[in-house]
């Protein structure tokens, strides 16, 4: 249907190798050459995964597991990518790299990304539009840059 989901915590299958995890993402593709091309694209996007392709996912760092989960979702070549808390448990430097990658993917491929993220500053810095939830309901909805620049919004909802 053109939608891929990366669950909270990444969801890498730790008993499988990096390459086995990635191949799972492209299983529905009948064309083997297309699957091989997609795999190479993911390795180009995440060179660390290429270096670790034969290692068990259990041996990866948190950032590498998140790359793996995103790579597996991208193997399906989705039009829409759903990301649930991709920065969960990651170091700030890795979070910045990840957000930069998401922004790059959007710009280069036209991929639509629905990002659910508690790190509001990081998420809004790469978003076009933002929704602020309060107790499960939409409290605010506006252009991301306006949400970030509004002092009242920042203090009341974004924690800074």
CA distances in angstroms from 74 to 92, 110, 130, listed in the order given: 23, 13, 23
d(CA 30, CA 63): 30
Instruction: Render pLDDT for 112-150 as a digit per residue (tens, 0 to 9).
Output: 999 999 888 889 999 999 998 888 899 889 999 999 888
Q: What is the pLDDT of residue 23?
A: 94
Angle (CA) 24-30-31 rounded to 5° is 105
Q: What is the pLDDT of residue 20?
A: 97
Report domain 3-127's class: alpha beta
Identify the band that residue 108 occupies on the pLDDT scale cut at 50, 70 and 90. Answer: confident
Full-model pTM: 0.86
- pLDDT of 2 strictly over 70: yes
Contact between residue 66 and residue 97 where contact means Cβ atoms under 8 Å apart: no
Name the residue among 1, 7, 31 with its Cα closest to residue 82.
Answer: 7
| Residue scoring higher pLDDT (143 or 33) | 143
- Residue 160's pLDDT band, with cuts at 50, 70 and 90, is low
Percentage of the chain modeled with pLDDT above 90: 54
pLDDT of residue 134: 83
Q: With beta carbons less than 8 A apart as the criterion, state whether 45 and 72 touch.
A: no
- Between CA 52 and CA 148, with CA 46 as vertex, the angle to 5 degrees is 135
Q: Are 60 and 52 in contact (CB under 8 A)?
A: yes
pLDDT, averaged across the chain: 90
CA-based nearest residue to 6, from 91, 85, 89, 107: 85
pLDDT-based confidence at 63, cuts 50/70/90?
confident
């Amino acid at each position: 249907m053109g939608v891929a989901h990366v669950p909270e915590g990444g969801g890498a299958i730790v008993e499988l190798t990096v390459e086995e995890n990635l191949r799972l993402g492209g299983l529905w593709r009948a064309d083997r050459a297309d699957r091989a091309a997609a795999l190479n694209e993911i390795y180009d996007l995440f060179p660390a995964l290429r270096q670790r392709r034969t290692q068990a996912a259990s041996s990866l760092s948190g950032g590498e597991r998140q790359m793996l989960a995103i790579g597996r979702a991208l193997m399906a070549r989705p039009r829409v990518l759903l990301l649930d808390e991709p920065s969960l448990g990651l170091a700030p430097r890795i979070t910045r790299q990840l957000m930069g990658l998401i922004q790059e993917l959007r710009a280069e491929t036209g991929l639509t990304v629905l990002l659910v993220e508690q790190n509001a500053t990081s998420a809004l810095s790469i978003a076009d539009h933002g929704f602020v939830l309060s107790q499960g309901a939409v409290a605010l909805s506006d252009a991301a840059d306006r949400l970030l620049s509004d002092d009242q919004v920042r203090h009341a909802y974004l924690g800074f």
